[in-house]
């Protein structure tokens, strides 16, 4: 069974792609109805291709509804309008009602809206299978409609790119250079005109 979304978002494809790899941005898509809590002691802030990320899902912040393993794979392709970037979550629900599913294949594709490079065409496809797919489909469909609403609301906030901050080493080097400027030459120490005096 499949659930599909196709949306135009008010952000650049680069901003949407960054958000797709941000643990925080992905969690915000489901909030505040569903909370996605990382289970790792030091969770990654960015989802890299090949990563396995276990999360706990909670409804309304209190009711545990299961654990999920997110497995991230990135793929790059092209269509008739240009480049398409795809993030595939081929992980699986581990506990809770969704663990009754045998198949969980979630793909999200981002590309530029044709003729509008500053906007994103977002395509979202969830394929589920197993004996529980039929009973769970309406709940997941409703969740994906909520997700679409959140995508539209949050996408404009993804385009903000903070000014780059220098790392500690370059800051220290700049400070050292500023405090060790050569002193002005004194008479007789080789400065201009000192040999004639």
Q: What domains, with CATH codes, occur in the chain?
A: 2-161 (3.30.530.20)
pLDDT in tens, the chain (197 residues): 999 999 999 999 999 999 999 888 888 888 888 888 888 777 767 788 878 888 899 988 788 989 999 899 999 999 888 899 999 998 889 999 999 999 999 999 999 999 999 999 999 999 999 999 999 999 999 999 999 999 999 999 998 655 555 554 454 554 444 444 455 545 555 544 444 44
- Contacts by residues 24-31 (CB-CB < 8 Å, ≥ 24 positions apart): 25/154, 25/158, 28/150, 28/154, 29/147, 29/150, 29/151, 29/154, 30/143, 30/146, 30/147, 30/150, 31/150
- Cis status of the peptide bond prior to 32, with omega within 30 of 0: yes
Identify the pLDDT of residue 46.
74
Q: What is the pLDDT of residue 196?
A: 47
Strands 92-93 and 2-9: unpaired
Conformation bin of residue 56: beta by default, left when phi > 0, alpha when psi is -120 to 50? beta
Q: What is the pLDDT of residue 146?
A: 94
What's the confidence (pLDDT) of residue 83?
A: 94
The C-alpha torsion from 45 through 60 and 108 to 93, rounded to 10°, is 90
| Residue 154: predicted pLDDT | 95
In this prediction, residue 49 carries a pLDDT of 82
> Which residue has tokens 């977002």?
122
Instruction: With CA atoms as reference, report the closest residue to 126 among 150, 151, 143.
Output: 143
Q: What is the DSSP letter of 30?
A: H
Quick check: helix, strand or coil at residue 46? strand
pTM flag (> 0.85): no
Q: What angle do CA 191, 195, 197 make, to 5 degrees?
A: 105
**Cα–Cα distance between 175 and 159 in angstroms, integer?**
32
With tokens 């981002």, the residue in question is 110
């Amino acid at each position: 069974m499949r659930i599909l979304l196709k949306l135009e978002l008010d952000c650049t494809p680069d901003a949407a792609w960054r958000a797709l790899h941000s643990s925080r941005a992905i969690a915000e898509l489901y909030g505040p109805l569903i909370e996605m809590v990382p289970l790792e002691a030091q969770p990654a802030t960015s989802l890299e291709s090949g990563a396995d990320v276990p999360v706990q899902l909670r409804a309304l912040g209190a009711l545990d509804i299961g654990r999920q393993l997110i497995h991230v794979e990135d793929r790059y392709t092209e269509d008739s309008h240009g480049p398409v970037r795809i993030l595939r979550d081929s992980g699986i629900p581990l506990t809770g009602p969704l663990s009754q599913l045998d198949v969980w294949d979630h793909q999200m594709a981002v590309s530029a809206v044709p003729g509008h490079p500053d906007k994103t065409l977002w395509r979202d496809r969830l394929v589920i299978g197993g004996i529980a797919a039929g009973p769970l489909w309406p709940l997941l469909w409703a969740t994906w409609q909520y997700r679409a609403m959140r995508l539209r609301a949050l996408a404009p906030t993804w385009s903000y790119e903070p000014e780059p901050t220098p790392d500690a080493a370059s800051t220290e080097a700049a400070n050292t250079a500023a405090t060790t400027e050569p002193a002005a030459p004194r008479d007789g120490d080789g400065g201009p005109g000192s040999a004639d005096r």
